[in-house]
Chains A and B, each alone.
Chain A
Amino acid sequence: MTLAGIIFYVLGIIILAATTLAITRRNPMHAIVYLVVSFFGMAPLFYLLGAPLLALLEIIIYAGAIMVLFIFIVMMLRIEATPRSQSRWFRQWFPAVGLSAISGLVMIVLIWQEPSQQAVLPLAMAGPREFGLFVFRRYWFAVEIASLLLLVALVGAFYLGRKGADPEGKS
Chain B
Amino acid sequence: MMAPFSHILILACLLFLMGAACAVARRNLIMILVGVEVMLNAAALAFVAASLRWQHLDGQAFVIFIFTVAAAEVAVGLALIVHAQRHTGSVMADDYSQLKG
- Bound: A142/B65 CA distance, A: 8
Q: A42-B45, A48-B2, A149-B72 are in contact. Are A96 and B25 (CB under 8 A)?
A: yes
Among B21, B60, B67, B87, point to the contact of A97 (Cβ < 8 A): B21
Task: Name the contact of A104 in the complex, choosing from B6, B14, B69 (C-beta under 8 A).
Answer: B14
Main secondary structure of the interface of B (DSSP, over half): helix
Question: Does B68 make an interface contact (CB < 8 A)?
Answer: yes
Tally A residues with Cβ within 8 Å of B: 86
Separation in Å of the B21 CB from the closest CB of chain A?
A: 4
Query: Given A22-B34, A161-B83, A70 and B78 touching (CB < 8 A)?
Result: yes
Bound CA span A158–B101, Å: 19
Q: How far is the CA of A142 from the CA of B15 in the complex (A)?
A: 27
14 residue pairs of the A-B complex, CB under 8 angstroms, read: A5-B3, A20-B18, A22-B38, A35-B37, A46-B45, A51-B60, A62-B70, A100-B20, A104-B13, A111-B10, A131-B57, A139-B61, A160-B82, A167-B86
Residues of A within 8 A of B (CB): 2, 4-5, 8-9, 12, 15-16, 19-20, 22-23, 28, 31-32, 35, 38-39, 42, 45-46, 48-51, 53-54, 57-58, 61-62, 65-66, 69-70, 73-74, 76-77, 79, 82, 92-93, 95-97, 99-101, 103-104, 107-108, 111-112, 114, 117-124, 126, 130-131, 134-135, 138-139, 142, 146, 149-150, 152-154, 156-158, 160-161, 165, 167, 169
* A5-B3, A96-B25 given; 16 more Cβ-contact pairs under 8 Å: A5-B1, A8-B2, A8-B8, A22-B34, A54-B44, A57-B64, A66-B74, A79-B28, A95-B25, A96-B24, A103-B17, A122-B2, A122-B52, A138-B58, A146-B64, A160-B80
